[in-house]
């Protein structure tokens, strides 16, 4: 079917607490579909039988609690051991990547957004037309995540340290949204929305 536009595949990324989900929610209000890779990954971990089996074999029964992913426990393991984090990513990334590819197929919108903390790692950005980075200074991210997740400063810092440098990632993005409590987010998102509608024509 021809809808009169090319459907663009847009990536949305940024470090922990940068404001990806907040930005994604504004795009949703504008009617743009958002694929939340972290939520999809969690659903697959709980519901895909092959992946579940792999997780149990690697991490043992504590990885699930009443059939729900024990996120806090697993985070405690992988954020303190880069090898375990790498193993987890190697199990979860490929299946999430194909879920995203299938999600974009046949979408009748000018563009769709794939939101993921890790887009430049493990080929997760493959096939995307443009990538938006959300950037916030580190002290703001720490405050926001401490407040949101009830973590202490050290716990947030150790999670930030496990991710590749945000400053480098932003250089790889086509567009950067600055979420620093100074610039209005909605104006920045609207400007990108109009740009993508033009590009999709």
Under the rule (CB under 6 A), what is the footprint of ligand ATP? 14, 16-22, 117, 144, 148, 179, 185
Are 12 and 20 a contacting pair, CB within 8 Å? yes
Distance CA 32, CA 149 (A): 27
Distance CA 37, CA 117 (A): 8
* Closer by beta carbon to ligand ATP, 18 or else 110: 18
* Closer by beta carbon to ligand ATP, 7 or else 151: 151
Smallest separation (angstroms) from ligand ATP to the CB of 126: 21
Smallest separation (angstroms) from ligand ATP to the CB of 55: 21
Closest CA to 17 of 148, 127, 189: 148
Smallest separation (angstroms) from ligand ATP to the CB of 14: 5
* Closer by beta carbon to ligand ATP, 18 or else 96: 18
Are 7 and 107 a contacting pair, CB within 8 Å? yes
SS3 36: strand
* Closer by beta carbon to ligand ATP, 17 or else 112: 17
Element (H, E) at 72: helix 71-78
Smallest separation (angstroms) from ligand ATP to the CB of 144: 3
Q: What is the sign of the dihedral through the CA atoms of 145, 151, 153 and 156?
A: negative
Residue 11 φ then ψ, to 5°: -95, 150
Distance CA 101, CA 88 (A): 20
Smallest separation (angstroms) from ligand ATP to the CB of 13: 9
* Closer by beta carbon to ligand ATP, 65 or else 181: 181
């Amino acid at each position: 079917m021809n809808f009169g536009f090319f459907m663009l595949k847009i990536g949305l990324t940024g470090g922990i607490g940068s404001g990806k989900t907040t930005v994604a929610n504004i795009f949703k209000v504008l009617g743009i579909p958002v694929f939340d890779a972290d939520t999809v990954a969690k659903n697959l971990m709980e519901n895909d039988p092959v992946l579940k089996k792999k997780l149990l074999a690697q991490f043992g029964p504590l990885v699930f609690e009443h059939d729900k992913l024990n996120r806090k426990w697993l985070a405690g393991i992988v954020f303190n051991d880069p090898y375990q984090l790498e193993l987890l990513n190697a199990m979860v990334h490929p299946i999430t990547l194909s879920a995203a590819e299938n999600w974009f197929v046949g979408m009748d919108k000018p563009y769709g957004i794939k939101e993921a903390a890790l887009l430049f790692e493990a080929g997760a950005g493959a096939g995307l037309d443009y990538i938006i980075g959300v950037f916030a200074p580190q002290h703001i991210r720490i405050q926001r995540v401490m407040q949101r997740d009830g973590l202490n400063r050290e716990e947030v810092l150790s999670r930030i340290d496990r991710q590749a440098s945000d400053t480098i990632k932003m250089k790889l993005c086509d567009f950067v949204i600055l979420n620093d409590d100074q610039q209005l987010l909605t104006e920045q998102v609207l400007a990108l929305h109009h740009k993508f509608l033009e590009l999709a024509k």
